[in-house]
Structure 1
Amino acid sequence: MADSVADPDTKYFATTTDDDDRLAQLGHVQELQRNYSIWSLGSLCLCLMATWEALSTVIATALATGGAPCLFFNLLVSVICTIAIACSLSEVASIYPTAGGQYHWVAALSPPSSRATASWFTGWINVGGQIVLTASAAFAAGLQLQALIILNDDSYVPARWQGLLFYWLILLYAAATNIWGSRILPTANLLSGVLHMAGFLAILVTLGIMAPKNSTSFVFTEVSNSSGWSSDGISWLVGLLSSVYPLLGYDAACHLAEEMPHASRNVPLAMVGSVTVNGVLGIGYCIMLLFSAGTLDVLLATPTGFPFMQIFLDATRSAAGATVMSLVITLTAIAATVAGVTSTSRTVWAFARDKATPFDRYFAYVNHSSHVPVRAVVLITILQMLLGFIYLGNSTAFNAILSMAILGLYTSYLIPIIYFMIHGRPKMAKHEFGFFKMPKSLGLGLNLLSCAWLVLAIIFSTFPTSMPVTAQNMNYSTVVMVGWVVLGGIYYIMLGRKKFEVPMVDREARGF
């Protein structure tokens, strides 16, 4: 057990606004530097989610599984529910502002009988989800760079090994930036946030002026199910994937909690603010993209492999213009990779700090000059690079691994919300909450809505997007998820449970 500085005879935490004191009350000492501001952290979350940019890459799937109206209404519902999830998580993050995030919250809220197991598996699942989410951003950026060559050179024949090299290049850049550019990372994230916003406006205006337009009925009312599912309802629900993926990753703010001042206030603001801003941008961009999209056959036949590039090319009728517009999305994907490495490395480091990983002492090390968990950065970069060999051998298997992001992250969101509803909200005194506290009835309502949406999205994210099912279009995310959990379970039973230091002392001693 981690030691606490709280007096065991005192019922509640001592009131403090000092971040280091609060972290000490949670059982840890300050090792990282608090260099992030609310603006730089918010920008990191904006770019890691990259909502409007990600929508560009899922439009073909969305049109196939239900047509334009389904993408718009799915996104609208997804934004509303994701804001509810962000509010639910932010309320807990405000109480326990540590880099461990979800697994630490579960440890703090769960009863002694299930505390260690529930906390460890939450952390393990969250780490897996973050690793593949970051890998998917790097993979998208790498293949988009390859697609830009195709856009400008008809004679270029892409090879899978070249896509792998682009993928590795992005990962190495992200690792180098996190290791040697740590001091400028807050500023770099802020600049990436500016690109995210300015690029949105530039592309929105360009499409609005230059692109040929579909009818209003196409965007809002005409449903066309080309997925092969016999039921339009099932096809619509399967299409949720297109609106869920662009809204992943806002929990990065909580994993940077030990690197910003006033974390109890700023982490929730960054989480809720980034989801709200990205949601509004995403809805606006979604409408314009659907008005500007060509037919599904044309989008799927694009030689670049990315339908949004075809939309840009049709709008500008210029390879140079389409390249500049596409670069905004690609550069944001690169920034998302850098942000993902930052967030994931902090989670792995925190997990190792609590002796939850193999070679925990080694990976819990923080470089004394840069105050960066360099070994954790190198570890996740190597793991992600190794995933690339799977793509080289079988792209279907590689995509299956990337699709685990929704299952991993959404499960790690669901568990602490459930524990907070059952063991946290009903039992905590008013002053035990952090800066971000919702009224009881509103908070409970948002918790219930969050759980319902998370369960629904988890279930239908495992369905294949098209029928009939083949080896190529089968959704293997469940297989990957089960494999990851089984692998973790074997390690936990054999070694993990013997050394894992649950990152909270006994709740009774703290009055929870």
Structure 2
Amino acid sequence: MLEELGRDADGNLAAIKRADNVLLAKLGYRSVFVRELSLLELTFFVFSVMGTLGSVSVEMSFPLVAGGHVGMVFGWIIPCFFAMTVACSLAELTSAMPTSGGLYYFSAKLAPRRWAPLASWITGWANITGQVVLMASIDYTLAQTIATAVNVGSDGAIILEPGPTFGITVLLLVLHGVVCSTATAVLARLNVYYAILNIGSSIAVIVALLVCSGENRVSTKTAFTKFENNTGWANNGFAFLLSFYAPMWTFTGYDCAAHLSEETTGASRVAPIAMVAGVGVTALSGWLLFIAVSFATASIPDVIAADFPMPMGKVYLDVLGKRGMLTVWSLVILAGWVGGAAQGVDASRVVFAFARDNALPGSRWWKRVHPGTGTPVCAVWLVMALCVVCSLVGFSATALSSLAGSSVIALYISYVTPIVLRVTSGRKTFKPGPFSLGRWSVTSGIIAIAWVSFFMVIFMFPPGAHPTAETMNYTVVIIMGVFVFASLSWVLSAHRWFRGPVRTVDDSDSSHSAASDVGRIKEKGGTTIEEREVSLESPGSEL
């Protein structure tokens, strides 16, 4: 009986994978990955990129100076509601078009035919920029986390300067490159255990902060209502808005559910659910942790004055003691490590997908899939190399806000572009998949657009008044640098040859995909996909 059930389960799984590949063929792509990710594994992958314990621990500096207790509690939860509208809108698009290209593919399909290549080009470059800078910021903050542990472990005798911190960042990027070059299934399994550990650790830290703070724990009124402006900006309202850096930097990278959809079984249903669930769990757990931190922070000025790369280290040290702090900090380092690995996979899939459509210089290299691991190894190492360049901003005093702002703005430009097209040119032609917002689709999209337009302006400002070369927010430099390059490339060359997503299958290949049980097709040589470029399908065509 058990054997029969096992055969039935295998048969159902194979049928789902065949259906996934048929849909992918209709979208224009031949399957080159093994579909090994389940709902649980993909959800935990999304959660790993955002990771509650690691995110809150490294991002405390933003609400700490931009509102104090109020910044920690309300500076987190308010943006969560708006970020969820963005996630829901993208989940609906992912359900209809589950491809590794994700966002730039959505833009190409939803834009008017004449403007589809340009919309795809803008979205793709914005997404790649955000993915790379986000990866760089994760490993840079992980290096700072390690530096904080060294500081505490040596009782303040060793304080790592920007040079050694940059060296640690490069080493972490190399190690992540090695890990991300392995099979995706390996990381997926590890993420399941990590996510359970992360959630359990977050709960343990919340309890520990509330219990161990004892008499030093502030009152409920102070924890929820005391506002302290340490930004240097005279306007308290504007200062409070800067606390939004923490949640908005956390709520990036959840589009990995779309980019990993070609490696997911039942992608049109699983990917959108994983995206929304990952954001929801992170929002709730992060808020509870920040509330606990607010109660445990007896003096905001003392924490700010501490000579720690990460201010949260001071809070843990005061409340838990040296051993307790280092124990919790080791979990924070683990969270940053696994989050970096998950983000490296995500970023490499974006590079692979954009290169598959010949949109990157040297695309023939970046779209290669290693026959042994089944992963785009060349794309992985391109991401890591670009991250090393981005990490040079670590020599600036405002490196954290520059990297955070750049990744947030670039990613949300890529998030909001297909949403704008969904509620305008694609409003009547879009055909939803199994996950649909129904009549709330347009409303969610409009709220998402308004929210992104609002906070992108805020994130361009420096963290303090009267900026100098050292304290300048270099977000605009990074964003404009890529924007100028992409714009010149379009005007001088790409407008003549880039037509958006390139089909890698003919219509007759759909039946071939349906015959594949595994969903993995290797060309002879196993490295490069044979491509036959055809004109882009009109928006609203059968998906």
Query: Normalising by structure 1, what TM-score?
Result: 0.92
**Is 1:365 paired with 2:368?**
yes
Q: In 1, distance between residues paired with 2:85 and 2:74?
A: 17
Q: In 1, distance between residues paired with 2:25 and 2:331?
A: 42
Residue correspondence of structure 1 range 28-427 to structure 2 within 5 A: 28-154=29-155, 155-211=157-213, 212-317=216-321, 319-392=322-395, 394=396, 396=398, 400-427=402-429
Match in the other structure for 1:3: none
Query: Does the 8 A contact of 1:227 with 1:467 survive in 2?
Result: yes
Deviation at 1:222, TM superposition (A): 2.1
Deviation at 1:389, TM superposition (A): 4.1
Q: In 2, distance between residues paired with 1:360 and 1:122?
A: 17
Query: Does the 8 A contact of 2:142 with 2:336 survive in 1?
Result: yes
Deviation at 1:190, TM superposition (A): 1.2
- Between 1:274-283 and 1:288-297, the stretch displaced more is 288-297
Match in the other structure for 2:538: 507
Question: Any idea what the Cα deviations from partners look like across 1:433-465, whole Å, max 9, x if unmatched?
Answer: 10101121x222211111111111111111122
Question: Any idea what the Cα deviations from partners look like across 1:139-193, whole Å, max 9, x if unmatched?
Answer: 1111211221111113224233321221122212211111135441111111221
Question: Any idea what the Cα deviations from partners look like across 1:423-442, whole Å, max 9, x if unmatched?
Answer: 223334xxx310101121x2
Q: In 2, distance between residues paired with 1:208 and 1:397?
A: 32
Q: In 2, distance between residues paired with 1:302 and 1:66?
A: 18
Q: In 2, distance between residues paired with 1:238 and 1:288?
A: 21
> What SS does structure 2 have at the residue aligned with 1:114?
helix
Question: Any idea what the Cα deviations from partners look like across 1:220-239, whole Å, max 9, x if unmatched?
Answer: 22222222222222222232
Query: Does the 8 A contact of 1:52 with 1:246 survive in 2?
Result: no
Give structure 1 regions of 4+ aligned residues with deviation exceeding 6 angstroms. Answer: none
**Is 1:470 paired with 2:472?**
no
Query: Does the 8 A contact of 1:98 with 1:257 survive in 2?
Result: yes
Match in the other structure for 2:490: 492
Q: In 2, distance between residues paired with 1:150 and 1:98?
A: 45
Match in the other structure for 2:525: none
> What SS does structure 2 have at the residue aligned with 1:99?
coil
Query: Normalising by structure 2, what TM-score?
Result: 0.87
Match in the other structure for 1:439: 438
Query: Does the 8 A contact of 1:196 with 1:332 survive in 2?
Result: yes
- 1:320 to 1:439, Cα distance in 2 relative to 1, 3 A: same
Deviation at 1:398, TM superposition (A): 7.9
- Between 1:118-127 and 1:377-386, the stretch displaced more is 377-386
Q: In 2, distance between residues paired with 1:51 and 1:488?
A: 34
- Between 1:451-460 and 1:226-235, the stretch displaced more is 226-235
Q: In 2, distance between residues paired with 1:416 and 1:509?
A: 14
Deviation at 1:268, TM superposition (A): 0.4
> What SS does structure 2 have at the residue aligned with 1:337?
helix
Give 2:26's aligned amino acid: Q
- 1:225 to 1:509, Cα distance in 2 relative to 1, 3 A: closer
- 1:511 to 1:266, Cα distance in 2 relative to 1, 3 A: closer
- 1:461 to 1:219, Cα distance in 2 relative to 1, 3 A: same
Q: In 2, distance between residues paired with 1:17 and 1:309?
A: 50
Q: In 2, distance between residues paired with 1:311 and 1:247?
A: 24
Give 1:91's aligned amino acid: E
Q: In 2, distance between residues paired with 1:228 and 1:387?
A: 27
> What SS does structure 2 have at the residue aligned with 1:507?
coil
Q: In 2, distance between residues paired with 1:66 and 1:395?
A: 21
Residue correspondence of structure 1 range 18-37 to structure 2 within 5 A: 18-37=19-38
Query: Does the 8 A contact of 2:37 with 2:185 survive in 1?
Result: no
> What SS does structure 2 have at the residue aligned with 1:45?
helix
> What SS does structure 1 have at the residue aligned with 2:371?
coil
> What SS does structure 1 have at the residue aligned with 2:233?
coil
- 1:481 to 1:24, Cα distance in 2 relative to 1, 3 A: same
Q: In 1, distance between residues paired with 2:485 and 2:125?
A: 10
- 1:508 to 1:226, Cα distance in 2 relative to 1, 3 A: closer
Q: In 2, distance between residues paired with 1:287 and 1:399?
A: 23
Query: Does the 8 A contact of 2:58 with 2:145 survive in 1?
Result: no
Structure 1 alignment gaps of length 5 or more: 1-14
Give 2:173's aligned amino acid: L
- Between 1:238-247 and 1:94-103, the stretch displaced more is 238-247
- Between 1:448-457 and 1:488-497, the stretch displaced more is 488-497
> What SS does structure 1 have at the residue aligned with 2:204?
helix
Q: In 2, distance between residues paired with 1:427 and 1:180?
A: 40
Deviation at 1:402, TM superposition (A): 4.7
- 1:192 to 1:501, Cα distance in 2 relative to 1, 3 A: farther
Match in the other structure for 2:456: 458
Query: Does the 8 A contact of 1:52 with 1:286 survive in 2?
Result: no
Aligned length: 492
- 1:148 to 1:397, Cα distance in 2 relative to 1, 3 A: closer
Give 1:349's aligned amino acid: F
> What SS does structure 1 have at the residue aligned with 2:226?
coil
Q: In 1, distance between residues paired with 2:392 and 2:542?
A: 50
Structure 2 alignment gaps of length 5 or more: 1-15, 503-535
Q: In 2, distance between residues paired with 1:268 and 1:181?
A: 23
Q: In 2, distance between residues paired with 1:255 and 1:347?
A: 6
Query: Does the 8 A contact of 1:356 with 1:499 survive in 2?
Result: no
